[in-house]
Amino acid sequence: MNLLQTLSLSLLAALTLSDPYLTEDCERLRRPIDQLSDDELMLYVNGMQAIRASGKYQVLIDAHKDHTEIHRGSSFFFYHSYYVWEVETQIRMLGGKFKCFSLPYYDWTIDAGNEAEPFILNSVFGGDGDPDHHNCVMTPAGRASQNWGVEKWAIQELCNPQENAEVGCCLKRNLWAEGDPLGDAFEVANVLQRDQWNQMGGGIAFHHQKVHWLFGAGDDCVSCAMATGYSPDDPIFMLLHSFTAMLRATWAACHGYDHLTGDDLDGNLAAYEPKCAEGYPDCGVIELDDVYEFGEMPTYKWSLTSQMDITPRMMWDFADWNVRYDAGTFQRRGGMYDEDTTCSPTGLQFSRWFLQDEEAENGEKRQHAQFSRVHSVSGKEVQEQALFESRAVSAVPRVNEESAWWLQLVDRHALRVTAVVLVALYWSFRLVQYLASKGKCACRESLLGGGAAHSMAYGTV
Ligand SMILES: [Cu+2]
300 and 181 part of one domain: yes
Residue 26 resides in a domain: no
Predicted confidence (pLDDT) per residue in 95-152, tens digit: 999 999 999 999 999 999 999 999 999 999 999 999 999 999 999 888 999 999 999 9
User: From the CA of 233, how far away is ligand 1's center (Å)?
Assistant: 11
State pLDDT tens for residues 270-311: 999 999 998 998 999 999 999 999 999 999 999 999 999 999
Question: Across-strand partners of 138?
Answer: 144
Mean pLDDT of 55-62: 97
- DSSP H helices in 25-129: 38-53, 56-66, 76-92
Note whether residue 106 is domain-resident: yes
Assess if residue 230 is contained within a domain. Answer: yes
Distance 149 CA to ligand 1 centre (A): 23
- Same domain for 70 and 8: no
Asked whether the beta carbons of 156 and 146 are under 8 A apart, the reply is no
CA dihedral (146, 151, 154, 158) positive or negative: positive
Q: Are residues 207 and 279 located together in one domain of the fold? A: yes
Distance 64 CA to ligand 1 centre (A): 6
Confidence of residue 16 (pLDDT cuts 50, 70, 90): very low
Query: Is the residue at 344 inside a domain?
Result: yes
The three-state secondary structure class of 250 is helix
How much distance in Å is there from the Cα of 340 to the middle of ligand 1? 34
Asked if residue 215 belongs to a domain, the reply is yes
Distance 204 CA to ligand 1 centre (A): 13
In a shared domain, residues 313 and 442: no
Higher pLDDT, 453 or 102: 102
What tens digit of pLDDT does each residue of 174-183 get? 999 999 999 9
Cα(424)–Cα(3) distance, rounded to whole angstroms? 16
Instruction: Answer yes or no: do 109 and 216 share one domain.
Output: yes
Q: What are phi and psi of 140, to 5 degrees?
A: -55, -30
Answer with the residue of higher pLDDT: 360 or 64: 64
Per-residue pLDDT, 7: 52
Return the pLDDT at 433: 82
* DSSP β-bridge partners for residue 325: 30, 354
Which CATH number is 356's domain given?
1.10.1280.10
Ligand 1 center–CA 208 separation, angstroms? 10
Q: Are 318 and 448 contained in the same domain?
A: no
Q: Find the 323 Cα to ligand 1 centroid distance in Å.
A: 20
Cα-to-centroid distance, 408 and ligand 1 (Å): 37
Does one domain contain both 439 and 312? Answer: no
Same-domain status, 168 and 184? yes
Distance CA 252, CA 326 (A): 15
Q: Considering only 107-121, 246-260, 357-371, which range has the smallest mean pLDDT?
A: 357-371
Q: Minimum mean pLDDT among 1-5, 62-66, 124-128, 347-351: which range?
A: 1-5
Number of structural domains the chain divides into: 2
Q: What is the pLDDT of residue 285?
A: 95
For residue 212, report the distance from its CA to the centre of ligand 1, in Å: 10
The range of the structural domain enclosing residue 453 comes to: 3-17+406-457
120: left (phi over 0), alpha (psi -120 to 50) or beta: alpha
Q: Give the phi and the psi of residue 229 in degrees, each rounded to 5.
A: -70, -15
Residue type, 441: C
Ligand 1 center from residue 120 Cα (angstroms): 19
295 shares its domain with 431: no
Do 386 and 414 lie in a common domain? no
> What is the pLDDT, as a whole number, of residue 10?
46
Distance 253 CA to ligand 1 centre (A): 24
Based on the fold, state whether residues 281 and 203 are members of the same structural domain: yes
Query: The whole model's pTM is what?
Result: 0.76
CA–CA separation, 310 and 20 (whole Å): 15
Residue 428's H or E segment, with its range, is helix 414-437
Residue 156 belongs to a domain: yes
What's the pLDDT at 445?
31
Residue 179 lies in a domain: yes
382 lies in a domain? yes
72 C-alpha vs ligand 1 centroid, how far in Å?
10
Quickly state the pLDDT bin for 213 (edges 50, 70, 90).
very high
Same domain for 289 and 150, yes or no, is yes
